[in-house]
Amino acid sequence: MTTINYINQTVLITGASSGIGRVFAQTLAARGAHLLLLARSGAALDSLAAELSRRHGIRAHALVADLSLPGAARDAHAQACALGMPPDVLVNNAGFATHGRFENIDLARQASEVTVNCTALMELTHCALPHMLAQGRGAIINVASTAALQPDPYMAVYGASKAFVLAFSEALWAENRRRGVRVLALCPGATDTAFFDVVAAPEAAVGRRMAPQAVVDAALRALDQGRSSHVAGRQNRLLAWLPRLLPRETVLGIVENMLRPGQA
């Protein structure tokens, strides 16, 4: 596999206003990519777009969208095309988690979790892929999680949604690896972002938190290598072997104990 040259390539990044998405934007702008930055927070996106345009001499545009709303992903892709910037590279990073006993978590919130983590990701991929195939080149990074590697008690919907992302991405890797389009499922573990502040559950952070830059660098290396999936961080890769080595019920018992809410 050859190293991807991002100069003058258009990259669409969801969840770009903070965390891993923001670092993807900063890193790829430094490599010469033009950016479409998608999130709900318009002010933060406008500020980031202006900063990266000024610093790196690239085009950067904010696409304000709430991916939990029906049709938002398709509308965002239409905006990109209207700007004359159909994405050559897509980074589906937007996502969130809920934590607690399944029946106690608001159902609408969990339905939105599935929409953002799965449906919007699938729709943006479906919209972006034909342009990449027509060019004979392109790349898609779908941010899954180490939560995808086994069921996750007290984060049942989140873990299931990320298992979808992993299986979906690996299937598309197999479909498109001979057609010039690379597809990678990125599986970070706990990362030093505001993710766990939103979840409001520190027990959901398993292991030492990685720096977002280390996660992004690992993702781009794995993409260059033509990998179908990548677990970021050596400690996380070691933990990823547990479901293969132990009986499934044993793994579930371990994970249930790790993720159990303080008041459960």
Q: What is the mean pLDDT of the chain?
A: 92
- Residue 190's pLDDT is 85
Residue 263 has pLDDT above 50, yes or no: no
Q: Tell me whether residue 149 is in a domain.
A: yes
Residue 19 has pLDDT above 70, yes or no: yes
> Which residue is associated with the tokens 């979840």?
199
Q: Tell me whether residue 150 is in a domain.
A: yes
pLDDT digits (tens, 9 = 90+) for 201-221: 555 555 677 899 999 999 999
pLDDT digits (tens, 9 = 90+) for 82-109: 999 999 999 999 999 999 999 999 999 9
Q: Tell me whether residue 18 is in a domain.
A: yes
CB 232 within 8 A of CB 212: no
Total domain count for the chain? Answer: 1
CB 177 within 8 A of CB 157: no
Q: Tell me whether residue 166 is in a domain.
A: yes
Q: Tell me whether residue 77 is in a domain.
A: yes
Mean pLDDT of 242-258: 86
Task: For the chain, give the percent of residues with pLDDT over 90.
Answer: 80
> Does pTM top 0.85 for this prediction?
yes
Residue 176 has pLDDT above 50, yes or no: yes
b/e string for 62-80 if b means 16 or more Cβ within 10 A?
A: bbbbebbeeebbeebbebb
pLDDT digits (tens, 9 = 90+) for 103-160: 999 999 999 999 999 999 999 999 999 999 999 999 999 999 999 999 999 999 999 9
Q: Tell me whether residue 215 is in a domain.
A: yes
Three-state secondary structure of the chain:
CCCCCCCCCEEEEECCCCHHHHHHHHHHHHCCCEEEEEECCHHHHHHHHHHHHHHHCCCEEEEECCCCCCCHHHHHHHHHHHCCCCCCEEEECCCCCCCCCHHHCCHHHHHHHHHHHHHHHHHHHHHHHHHHHHHCCEEEEEECCHHHHCCCCCCHHHHHHHHHHHHHHHHHHHHHCCCCEEEEEEECCCECCCHHHHHCCHHHCCCCCECHHHHHHHHHHHHHCCCCEEECCHHHHHHHCHHHHCCHHHHHHHHHHHHCCCCC
pLDDT band for position 244 (cuts 50, 70, 90): confident
Q: Which is higher by pLDDT, 249 or 160?
A: 160
Q: Tell me whether residue 250 is in a domain.
A: yes
Mean pLDDT of 179-206: 74
- Residue 37's pLDDT is 98
Report the distance separating Cα 163 and Cα 167, nearest Å: 6
In terms of residue numbers, what domain contains 209?
10-259
Q: Tell me whether residue 241 is in a domain.
A: yes
Residue 199 has pLDDT above 70, yes or no: no
- Residue 239's pLDDT is 78
What CATH number did the domain enclosing 161 receive? 3.40.50.720
As annotated, the active-site residues are: 158, 162
